[in-house]
Chains A and B, each alone.
Chain A
Amino acid sequence: KAGVTQTPRYLIKTRGQQVTLSCSPISGHRSVSWYQQTPGQGLQFLFEYFSETQRNKGNFPGRFSGRQFSNSRSEMNVSTLELGDSALYLCASSLIKWDSGNRATQYFGPGTRLTVL
């Protein structure tokens, strides 16, 4: 079974631009979560989607948004990019809605490295 895939793997943007990142979960996984990883702040939760609905959101400004499609694929968008948005963005998928034993486990994609100049 194929793992979580993320595209693109690398992106370079300039301040003020916007960017869209894509994530395809493991087949059958319906929950998709997004994380930002930076050297200073570590790994921080952005948001989680299930059945096309955002169920949870971390402490990030409204410039960070996302969506999920009927096939469980997810996108996240960052508008009006700032230098501090440079980071590795990780997507993770898990099996079902209700956390239960192994089904709570999140499996990560390879990440998208975003550089803002």
Chain B
Amino acid sequence: AQTVTQSQPEMSVQEAETVTLSCTYDTSENNYYLFWYKQPPSRQMILVIRQEAYKQQNATENRFSVNFQKAAKSFSLKISDSQLGDTAMYFCAFMKPGSQGNLIFGKGTKLSVKP
């Protein structure tokens, strides 16, 4: 069975600085999808970024980028120029093709951006 581990329960960063959130996963699959979701205090789960395992290039979305290390089964999220609005729970998630909706989530990292 696949598992997702986020080893940092809480992190904080100063506004405008850069922070990296860690995620590791365990799978025997060769092709799969990885996601980072953000859940602010409003509880709405928002997609931050996604990565397809067959793509070697790391995904980027504006201030958000990932470091995808397939051999190490690592998928970290880097947030540059942190903003107060980035304060949220961040969840790393895994899905294999054909899993029919079953996203497997990590326990989450609570990120606080301080002014």
Select which of B50, B91, B98, B99 is within 8 A of A43 by beta carbon. Answer: B91
Is there contact, CB below 8 Å, between A106 and B42?
no
B102 contacts A45, CB within 8 Å?
yes
Interface flags, A19-56, vs B, CB<8A=1, else 0: 00000000000011101000000110101101000011
Asked if B41 lies at the interface with its beta carbon under 8 angstroms from chain A, I say no
B75 adjacent to chain A (CB < 8 Å): no
Kindly report which residue of chain A lies nearest to residue B108, judged by CB atoms: A42
By a CB distance below 8 angstroms, the chain B residues around A58 are 102
**Smallest CB–CB gap between B9 and chain A, Å?**
12
Query: Is B97's CB within 8 Å of the partner chain A?
Result: yes
B100 x A50 contact (CB < 8 A): yes
Q: Does A45 lie within 8 Å of B44, measured CB to CB? A: no
**Which residues on B sit within 8 Å (CB–CB) of A99?**
33, 95, 97-99
Instruction: List the B residue with the shortest CB-CB distance to A34.
Output: B101
The main secondary structure of chain A at its interface with chain B is: strand
A81: Cβ under 8 A from any B Cβ? no
**B107 within 8 A of partner (CB):** yes
**Which residues from A are CB-within-8-Å of B108?**
42
A33–B47 Cα distance when bound, in Å, is 15
Partner of A56, one of B33, B43, B101, B104: B101
A55 contacts B45, C-beta separation under 8 Å: no
CB-defined interface of A89-117 with B at 8 Å, one 1/0 digit per residue?
A: 01010100001111011111111010000
Q: A33 contacts which of B44, B52, B103 (Cβ < 8 Å)? A: B103
Q: Which residues of A contact B (CB under 8 A)?
A: 31-33, 35, 42-43, 45, 47-48, 50, 55-56, 58, 88, 90, 92, 94, 99-102, 104-111, 113
Give B contacts to A, CB under 8 Å: 33, 35, 37, 42-47, 50, 52, 91, 95, 97-108
16 intermolecular pairs with C-beta atoms under 8 Å apart: A33-B102, A42-B108, A48-B100, A48-B101, A48-B102, A56-B99, A88-B43, A92-B45, A99-B95, A101-B52, A104-B95, A104-B97, A106-B47, A106-B103, A109-B44, A113-B43
